[in-house]
Amino acid sequence: MLKFIDHNIVFQEVPNEVSLAINISNCPLRCKNCHSPQLQEDIGFCLTQDAILYIIKKYNRAITCICFMGGDSEPLEIEKLAIFVKSITPKLKIAWYSGKQKLPKAFQIKYFDFIKLGPYKGKYGGLDSLDTNQRFYKIIDNELIDMTFLFQKERI
Ligand code: SF4
């Protein structure tokens, strides 16, 4: 069972969207220079369908996107939750921030609008770095379209 430690409204993780970010714990990736080491612990509340429903209702029309932050220990659970969210609020966009460089086998991207891939590596920087190993994709017609450039400013 996936667990989450908290949730908050964010504006930068998904460009042009007001996102409800759900911060999922038990991250298996152990990146050096992890920005949130507490997310590596198996702590928090169970991320059930009821929990998601409660959180979405709380923010109601204030959000345009729900963003699952993490969940690499059980990616197929993320997929199931995305299917659930689409079934109850088809207009809400769905994003997933994964720390893995590749998608899991048989993962169905059609339930998502955005997916970020790649662990955080300090020497390459995050999505706003021109050297980053991370990629941010928009899903269009079941294809991953690289939109990482939206986070980046050109080198002067
Ligand atoms: S993926 Fe994110 S939360 Fe997980 S170890 Fe890496 S930086 Fe930390």
So what's the pLDDT on residue 61? 84
36 CB near ligand 1 (under 6 Å): yes
Please check whether residue 135 is in contact with residue 116, taking contact to mean a CB–CB distance below 8 angstroms.
yes
Mutate to test the pocket of ligand 1, among 36, 96, 135 (most ligand atoms within 8 A of CB): 36
The amino acid occupying position 85 is V
For residue 99, the ligand 1 atom closest to its alpha carbon is 1
- Indicate whether 32 belongs to any domain: yes
31 CB near ligand 1 (under 6 Å): yes
So what's the pLDDT on residue 147? 97
What is the extent of the structural domain holding 25? 3-151
Mean pLDDT of 26-47: 92
- Indicate whether 15 belongs to any domain: yes
What is the C-alpha separation between 75 and 135, in angstroms, rounded?
Answer: 17
- Indicate whether 156 belongs to any domain: no
So what's the pLDDT on residue 150? 96
Q: Whose CA is nearest to atom 7 of ligand 1?
A: 34
Sequence length of the chain is: 156
What is the C-alpha separation between 40 and 38, in angstroms, rounded?
Answer: 5
- Indicate whether 98 belongs to any domain: yes
- Indicate whether 55 belongs to any domain: yes
Count of the separate structural domains present in the chain: 1
So what's the pLDDT on residue 66? 97
With a cut of 90, say whether residue 52 has pLDDT above it: yes
Q: Which of 51-60, 63-72, 78-87 has the lowest mean pLDDT?
A: 51-60
The confidence band for 119, taking pLDDT boundaries of 50, 70 and 90, is very high
- Indicate whether 113 belongs to any domain: yes
Helical pair 75-88 and 49-59, crossing angle rounded to 10 deg: 50
With a cut of 90, say whether residue 31 has pLDDT above it: no
In percent, the amount of the chain with pLDDT more than 70 equals: 98
- Indicate whether 46 belongs to any domain: yes
- Indicate whether 21 belongs to any domain: yes
Mean pLDDT of 51-66: 93
